Amino acid sequence: MPQQWVTVGDRVQRTESRIDDPEGTIHIALDESFSPVVCVGAAVADSDFSAINSEIENLYADLTSYSWMADQESFKKFVKDGFHMSNDDQAIADRFIAFQAHAIGFSSFIFFTESQARTKNRLTLLLYRELLRTLFQRYRSRPLIRLYFEQNSEMERYFGKVAANSLRNVSRPRPTVQLKICEKQDPPLLAISDYTMLTFSRWWAGFRNCPPKSVSTKDFTWRNLNAIRRSISVIRSLEHGTIARRDLPFSEVIQSELGGGDALGVRGRTR
């Protein structure tokens, strides 16, 4: 069952009814992935929150009419759970990436690590702490921030504590933060977080084989990332710092990474 809203304070979490959204409310859909790298992602929307959700719902309704795919297990999962890139058939994934390439009204953030020094769950919570601190600082002048975490039976009990810890490290004035653990597809914005995160991590895991501007007819990881990259505000590694920003071209960033230099303020990737 979906949980009720929790208001995150400096030190405590208190359960409350949903606060009405004042003008300027920020909505953040959050998700995590363990493979091919450990990463967390956020899709951020404000006044366009309802509109972008409606667009995703309309796309879902359109794709569920693909009757010729009805006997495929991946399609059955799609009908039941909605968009999840790790499960979706290529025909579904291509449509959603094409949608993201043209959709407006949201920004995406990705934090990731290649460390193996801790368990994946602990690394994920560490990434969430850093991601949320960045988002709270960026949007601290907004009156209300809503966090939508997809259900995760192993980690969801820690999400409130991580959010509170991140909020304590934000300079004042601080926004009101409400958090909710959500079922799949609720809100649909969660699908953007899922797809953006996995699109990047699949490319990052093998970018030496599929570099920027690749025209490979077999490896589409760069093509997919290139399609959605204009909506990505920040990609940051715990080990190497900022990998890309909206104002920092991917091709130049990766040339620096491959060369081991620090051009454009990006630290070289060591092995």
Helices assigned H by DSSP within the chain: 49-63, 73-81, 90-102, 120-138, 156-168, 190-205, 221-228, 250-259
N-to-C CA span, the chain: 44
Q: Six-digit token pair at 270?
A: 């060591």
With 0-12 / 13-18 / 19 or more C-beta atoms within 10 angstroms meaning exposed / middle / buried, residue 242 is middle
Say if CB 106 and CB 188 are below 8 A apart: no
Domain 6-265 sits in CATH at 3.30.420.10
At residue 268, the pLDDT reads: 40
The Cα 131–Cα 138 span in angstroms is 11
| Closest-CA residue to 129 (of 113, 107, 141) | 113
At residue 21, the pLDDT reads: 84
The Cα 257–Cα 37 span in angstroms is 17
With 0-12 / 13-18 / 19 or more C-beta atoms within 10 angstroms meaning exposed / middle / buried, residue 95 is middle
Question: Which DSSP symbol is given to 197?
Answer: H
The Cα 21–Cα 62 span in angstroms is 30
At residue 139, the pLDDT reads: 95
| Closest-CA residue to 219 (of 230, 205, 231, 229) | 205
| Closest-CA residue to 208 (of 221, 224, 197) | 221
Residue that the structure tokens 């405590």 belong to: 12
Give the domain ranges of the chain.
6-265
Give, in order, the Cα–Cα distances in Å from 117 to each of 125, 207, 237, 270: 14, 23, 15, 16
The Cα 244–Cα 118 span in angstroms is 25
Per-residue pLDDT tens, the chain, 271 aa: give them.
446 888 887 555 566 666 678 899 999 999 999 988 899 999 999 888 999 999 999 999 999 998 888 889 999 999 999 999 999 999 999 999 999 999 999 999 999 998 888 889 999 999 999 999 999 999 999 999 999 999 998 999 999 999 999 999 898 888 999 999 998 889 999 999 999 999 999 888 876 666 666 666 666 788 898 899 889 999 999 888 888 887 766 655 555 554 543 322 333 443 3
The Cα 21–Cα 151 span in angstroms is 23
Return the number of other C-beta atoms located less than 10 Å from residue 40's C-beta: 25
Say if CB 23 and CB 88 are below 8 A apart: no
Residue that the structure tokens 């719902």 belong to: 57
